Amino acid sequence: MSGYDDRDGKIWMDGKLIDWRDANVHILTHALHYASSVFEGERCYDGKIFLSRKHSERLLKSGELIDMEIPWTVDQIEEAKRAVLDANGLTNAYVRVVAFRGAGEDMGVASAKNPVRMAVAAWEWGNYYGDAKMKGAKLDIAKWKRPSPETIPTAAKAAGLYMICTISKHAAEAKGCSDAMFMDYRGYVAEATGANIFFVKDGEVHTPLPDAILNGLTRQTVIKMLKEKGVTVHERYIMPEELADFEQCWLTGSAAEVTPVGQIGEYMFEVGALTRDISESYERLVRA
């Protein structure tokens, strides 16, 4: 397959559809140097983007949190996503919306004079973790920690927050793992590099409080599903040593969907009945 910069198709950029290969920015784009960028990753199932408006609303909120007002409304973002899917003839796809500070009068840390730009692209994309859907993903434990909300706006889906994710995922893949799990700045279990995490013990579910991590839309959806099924869900601080006591584990995210986990470091988990049930229920929900 060719690189993501060399494909046929259309990308929406700053209000219009352009050829995929022409969707470029200047080398002095502020976001490239200072991470002044926010984004959303979404999945389209059978022609419908799951939780589309919620993603668009979160994009605008992320922009606010990093002091970058995005000059498009939720309705305009929704129209742009639909235009991209239609122009590329896609009904099942991954959709990436990104807003960023472009090149302009400023080229230092401050960038208030630079335009805020936005682009929408979509492409076909299978399982984020490959065959882990069946046998369970293998996770490394990252050496980096998720930062304090006093350090960076952790509620924003912002590019800068993913720097340690890239480092940690590279380290994990070098060890034969699919991903890495972070602790947070206090030492509690936090999340994977691009997904929230859930554990099962004695038929009840435990998941980290999202006070220093992104409260994922898929996470919220799965918690609601579990409660509707009568499953007790504990949103709480989880200590690393508790991993030895959990029986099952899964990850959630728009890209990851619901992916079972078979191993984290030295700890092993079964791909059990509840994990399979919630994965299958999610698959049905997104196509409903």
**Taking the chain (288 residues) in consecutive chunks of 10 residues, what is each chunk's mean pLDDT?**
91 98 98 98 97 98 98 98 98 97 96 96 85 83 98 96 98 97 98 98 98 97 98 98 98 96 97 97 96
In a domain, residue 196? The reply is yes
Q: Write down the pLDDT at residue 216.
A: 98
Q: Write down the pLDDT at residue 128.
A: 72
The tens digit of pLDDT for each residue in 35-59 reads 999 999 999 999 999 999 999 999 9
Question: Among residues 89, 123, 157, which one ends one of the domains?
Answer: 123
Quick check: is 157 catalytic?
yes
Looking up residue 35, the CATH number of its domain turns out to be 3.30.470.10
Backbone conformation region of residue 241, classed left if phi is above 0, alpha if psi is from -120 to 50, else beta:
alpha
Q: What gap in Å lies between CA 194 and CA 120, rounded to an integer? A: 20
Which residues constitute the domain of residue 106? Answer: 10-123
Domain co-membership, 105 together with 167: no
Looking up residue 197, the CATH number of its domain turns out to be 3.20.10.10
The tens digit of pLDDT for each residue in 234-244 reads 999 999 999 99
Mean of all residue pLDDT scores within the chain: 96
Please state the φ and ψ torsions of residue 277, each to the nearest 5 degrees. -65, -45
- Indicate the number of domains in the chain: 2
DSSP codes of every residue in 24-52 = ---TT-HHHHH--EEEEEEEEETTEETTH
Q: What gap in Å lies between CA 64 and CA 68, rounded to an integer? A: 6
**Percent of the chain whose predicted confidence (pLDDT) is above 70:** 98
Q: Write down the pLDDT at residue 127.
A: 78
The tens digit of pLDDT for each residue in 200-254 reads 999 999 999 999 999 999 999 999 999 999 999 999 999 999 999 999 999 999 9
Find the catalytic residue in 10, 157, 227, 229: 157
In a domain, residue 231? The reply is yes
Domain co-membership, 142 together with 110: no
Domain co-membership, 88 together with 183: no
Tell me the β-bridge partners of 189.
183
In a domain, residue 3? The reply is no
C-alpha torsion sign, points 168, 171, 172, 178: positive
Domain co-membership, 186 together with 118: no
Q: Write down the pLDDT at residue 129.
A: 73
Q: Write down the pLDDT at residue 141.
A: 98
Pairing verdict, β 93-101 and 37-45? antiparallel
Strand order in the sheet with 48-49: 16-19, 10-13, 116-123, 93-101, 37-45, 48-49
Pairing verdict, β 204-208 and 196-201? antiparallel
